[in-house]
């Protein structure tokens, strides 16, 4: 279990109401884990309600830094909307972006979405990470489910896995985030004030699995720092 006391830091929980600046002192502290000492080799992202807009903002800023790692995304949307989202992300990032094809390699500098109504896993076959469709039952009432992707990324990339848990309802991504940190990887969660719904990131934060809790407009910068070997100071 990757939960030694030395791997935990503490940050104040964000206040929902900016008019009550003293409220943060009354809120419970958030336990933050230390970041992996390794430069990320894969970026996995979970998002749901508010996810298309959040992904557009983060990935557009992050795109110039993604040449050396693949980006794998689970977004809770009906299958009919996947093409619209991937087309928009491709336009904003100028990077190859599409719904993952079964059996294709996860290439650096490419962005892959789990197809609607299908789980996506990433497996190491030989020396290459391979994307695989998985037609199992829903998890957390979700298909695709971020937990499925995150668990496989933890097994495949270990300390090189970096997960982002963005705005969304429910708790999908929490179990998978535990697998990521137990494998030595890192998780960054979106903060409550910038989330449309703080269900998914909140479940990760409340479980003590995040290394940083950040507003949406700071997430790309934090990832860029990690890719340079310079972890952020721990969020809020």
- pLDDT tens for 135-162 read 899 998 999 999 999 999 999 999 999 9
Distance between CA atoms of residues 214 and 222, nearest Å: 9
Q: Percentage of residues in the chain with pLDDT exceeding 90?
A: 79
Average per-residue pLDDT for the chain:
89
Pairing between β-strand 8-12 and β-strand 29-33 as defined by DSSP bridges: antiparallel
pLDDT digits (tens, 9 = 90+) for 30-42: 889 999 999 999 9
- Token representation of residue 208: 């003590």
Cβ-contact 51, 199 below 8 angstroms: no
Q: Which residues are catalytic?
A: 48, 76, 172
pLDDT at 21 over 50: no
pLDDT digits (tens, 9 = 90+) for 55-86: 999 999 999 999 999 999 999 988 889 999 99
Average pLDDT over residues 121-126: 95
pLDDT given at position 29 = 73
User: Chain centroid to CA 79: how far?
Assistant: 20
pLDDT at 1 over 60: no
DSSP-derived secondary structure for the chain: ----GGGEEEEEPPPS-TT-GGGGGGSPEEEEEPPPSSPPSEEEEEE-TTHHHHHHHHHHHHGGG-TTS-EEEEE---HHHHHHHHHHHHHHH-S-EEEPPTT-B--TT-EEEPPTTSEEEEEEETTEEEEEEE----BTTBSS-HHHHHHHHHHHHGGGEEEEE-SBSS-TTHHHHHHHHHTT-EEEEE-TTT-S-BSHHHHHHHTT--SEEE-HHHHHHHHHHHHTT---S---
pLDDT given at position 234 = 45
pLDDT at 233 over 90: no
- Token representation of residue 19: 């008019």
Q: What are phi and psi of 101, to 5 degrees?
A: -100, 140
Lowest average pLDDT, out of 128-137, 202-211, 225-234, goes to 225-234
Neighbours of 161 (CB within 10 A): 30
Domains and CATH numbers, the chain: 41-227 (3.40.50.180)
Banded model confidence at residue 90, pLDDT cuts 50, 70, 90: very high
The larger pLDDT score, comparing residue 197 to residue 126, is at: 197
Cβ-contact 31, 9 below 8 angstroms: yes
Banded model confidence at residue 231, pLDDT cuts 50, 70, 90: confident
pLDDT given at position 236 = 44
User: Greatest CA separation found in the chain?
Assistant: 55
pLDDT at 120 over 90: yes
């Amino acid at each position: 279990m990757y939960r030694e006391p030395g791997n935990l830091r503490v940050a104040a929980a964000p206040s929902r109401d900016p008019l009550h600046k003293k409220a943060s002192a009354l809120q419970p502290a958030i336990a933050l884990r230390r970041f992996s000492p390794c430069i990320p080799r894969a970026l996995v992202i979970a998002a749901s309600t508010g996810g298309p807009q959040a992904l557009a903002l983060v990935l557009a800023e992050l795109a110039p830094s993604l040449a050396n790692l693949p980006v794998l995304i689970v977004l809770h949307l009906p299958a009919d909307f996947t093409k619209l989202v991937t087309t928009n992300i491709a336009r904003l990032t100028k990077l190859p972006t599409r719904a993952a094809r079964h059996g294709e390699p996860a290439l650096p500098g490419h962005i892959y979405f789990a197809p609607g109504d299908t789980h996506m896993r990433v497996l190491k076959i030989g020396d290459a990470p391979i994307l695989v469709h998985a037609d199992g039952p829903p998890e957390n009432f979700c298909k695709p489910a971020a937990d499925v992707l995150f668990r496989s990324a933890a097994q495949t990339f270990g300390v090189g896995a970096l997960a982002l848990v963005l705005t969304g309802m429910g708790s999908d991504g929490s179990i998978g985030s535990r697998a990521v940190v137990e494998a030595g990887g890192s998780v960054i969660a979106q903060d409550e004030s910038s989330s449309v719904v703080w269900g998914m990131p909140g479940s990760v934060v409340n479980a003590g699995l995040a290394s940083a809790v950040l507003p949406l407009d700071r997430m790309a910068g934090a990832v860029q720092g990690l890719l340079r070997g310079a972890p952020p100071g721990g969020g809020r």
